[in-house]
Structure 1
Amino acid sequence: MTRMMTDLPETMRVIEISTPGGPEVLVPAIRALPVPGYGEILIRVAFAGVNRPDALQRAGNYAPPPGASPLPGLEASGHVVAVGEGVTRWRLGDAVCALLPGGGYAEYALCPADHALPVPAGMALREAACLPETFFTVWTNVVQRGGLKAGERFLVHGGTSGIGTTAIQLAKAMGARVFATAGSDEKCAACLTLGAERAINYRTEDFVSALKAEGGADLILDMVGGSYLPRNVKALADDGRLVQIAFLTGPKVELNFAEVMVRRLTITGSTLRPRTVEVKAGIAAELEREVWPLLAAGKIAPVMDSEFPLDQAAAAHARMEGSSHIGKIVLRVT
């Protein structure tokens, strides 16, 4: 039986994509309040995280999976206001942060109950909204797929992005030697503060030479793609692994696979959104067990850049795509 708070409205404010295009196509609208189905919860959204996949969806290049909300927004924090049949963990009023299939840019959002996590002890909802998308992505690709181990040399590109700031801290907490690239001396300084051993300004330095001088990277996490792919291969140590999670400069490039074979390199990658409900639930369980205690203890924390009201989502996207931000951008919803 579905349980719901008694004061819920029939409609809600949302931000929708009026047509594929730039930030200006994000417009306010009114939609009916969603109702949780079996195994789902409804969250009154306090804050919603802003991420690169949101911009890709807005531009028409990242369609929601079947059955997902067409509204942008893949992570949010807030309080549970309705619980669908079959949900036993969550109670009305619980404070949660959640990985969403879509729909975060709204006053209320649905998600599978097993994709929600408790807000870490001592953390505000504003910061908690920044956890799911980046921590699910980094854990999946750096730990599960990349197999990072203590003592290994780890390179992350875009060190001051939401993914980058998360990856630096998590890899450092795991005992890895962390290297990062960034586009300014200010951003490189931020990477060092977060725990990177070396930050490489890609506008003035060659990350391939820098990593080769250290013996090569055992693992590289990349979202740039394009011309970075063959350079990443050269920056890897023998038996190294490259994990690709996005292609900001394009997915196609010419690559000599002889080097991959001779040096026993591994090239892999993944996208999070199309994975099954069950897989994401498994990731959530691992994060709660392995990472949430680190967040509660203050050993790692989300890096906050800026906050925008919900109706200024277009400005938030412009900020993100201008690439001057350091850390996460959020929308204040309620």
Structure 2
Amino acid sequence: MRAIEIAKPGGPEVLEWREAPEPRVERGDVLIDVTASAVNRADVLQRQGFYDPPPGASPYPGLEVSGVVAEVGADVEQFKPGDEVCALLGGGGYAERVAVPWQQVMPVPDRVSLREAAALPEVACTVWSNVFMIGRLRRGETLLVHGGASGIGTFAVQLAKALGSYVVTTVGSAAKGERVRELGADEVINYREEDFAEKAHADVILDIMGAKYLAGNVRALKTGGRLVIIGLQGGLKAELNLGVLLGKRAAIHATTLRARPVDEKGVIVRSVVDNVWPLIGAGAVSPVVYAEVPMSEAAEAHRMLDSGEHVGKILLVR
């Protein structure tokens, strides 16, 4: 088969479409002929040499795919060859085929094409597990989403709105603000012009920035609020005023998805299929696809992501 390999740490130009060994199918694995994958911030970090795959994962980038089941391992009863599926991966999505534990494989939801389904696994599992399973966002509460125009952000806005929350989001331009309002955001804050901590008061905050936003996020939390940090684009270390946190009886959670054990990912995946897929099937939530790029031209897709101009997901298609 062919796959995108990282020749050496660096810019998009280090991504090369090469011949690669066929994936090995273990007893609990599903082998997928890949239709599409999607670009995530973690792929960029891996390309730059800052985020190695977890032990046992494929060395190729790519945290999600959609495609058709080609083969199943001896212990797999949940899927069969010919099934159209999408899957959450530890790596290996930028390839013609990938083997993945069956627990991380999902049927393609209704109202979504096989190609579009590649835009769903990472965002759906990330948003559902962090905002609802960990953050416990409830109907009528307020969610603040940082980076509302990103893949994670566009999905979080739609899902929280569909489940009855008031949604506030930060964006970097008026054009992006208009788009996220179309997706259901009740309030939009341009972080280049306004202090989100002065304007937003949230029960749950989904944060991708880390250190840079820590103090502001704690200020923006309501009493009993929950801050969930899933990214560190704004740095690793910051000072925290514990007095403010105590006074608000608030909580801070920091999580990752990629390195979790298969069984933990499986719990999230099953919960997503049970709770999120019906909303997609009903048309209340949809994947937002900014562009489709041939997989062999993954470098161009990474340049798009690096530019920061996109809204939603960038797909790599075969």
TM exceeds 0.5? yes
Q: What secondary structure, in the 3-state scheme, does the structure 2 residue paired with 1:200 have? A: strand
Which residue, out of 260, 264, 269, partners 1:275? 260
Pairing of 1:1-334 with structure 2 (within 5 A): 12-211=1-200, 216-333=201-318
| Structure 1 residue 35, shift from structure 2 partner | 2.8
| 1:263 shift after superposition | 1.7
Shift of 1:34: 1.4
CA distance in 2, matches of 1:203, 1:34: 45
Shift of 1:100: 1.1
Counterparts of 1:172 and 1:121 in 2: how far apart (Å)? 20
AA at the equivalent of 1:164: G
Instruction: Report % sequence identity.
Output: 50
Deviations 1:272-302 (A, max 9, x none): 0111100111111111111111111111001
> Is the Cα contact below 8 Å between 2:111 and 2:280 reproduced in 1?
no
1:6 aligned partner = none
- What secondary structure sits across from 1:125 in the alignment? coil
| Alignment check: 8 A CA contact 2:2 2:19 kept | yes
Mapped partners of 1:304, 1:109: distance in 2 = 22
Contact 1:141 1:269 (C-alpha < 8 Å) held by counterparts: no
Whole-Å separation in 2 of the counterparts to 1:21 and 1:140: 31
The number of residues matched between the two structures is 318
Secondary structure in structure 1 of the residue aligned to 2:139: coil
Unpaired runs of 5+ in structure 1? Answer: 1-11
Structure 2: unaligned runs, 5 residues or longer: none
2:177 is paired with a residue of what secondary structure? helix
Shift, 1:101, TM fit: 1.5
Matches of 1:319 and 1:26, distance apart in 2? 14
Q: 1:5: which partner in 2?
A: none
The CA RMSD measured in Å over matched residues stands at 0.9
Q: Deviations over 1:14-70 (max 9, x none)?
A: 101111111111111101211310110110000001100111111111111111100
Q: TM-score, normalised by structure 1?
A: 0.94
Q: TM-score, normalised by structure 2?
A: 0.98
Q: Is the 8 A contact 1:183 1:203 kept in 2?
A: yes
List per-residue Cα deviations over 1:171-200 (Å, max 9, x = no partner). 111111000000000101111111110011
What SS does the aligned partner of 1:240 have? strand
Q: Distance in 2 between matches of 1:293 and 1:262?
A: 39
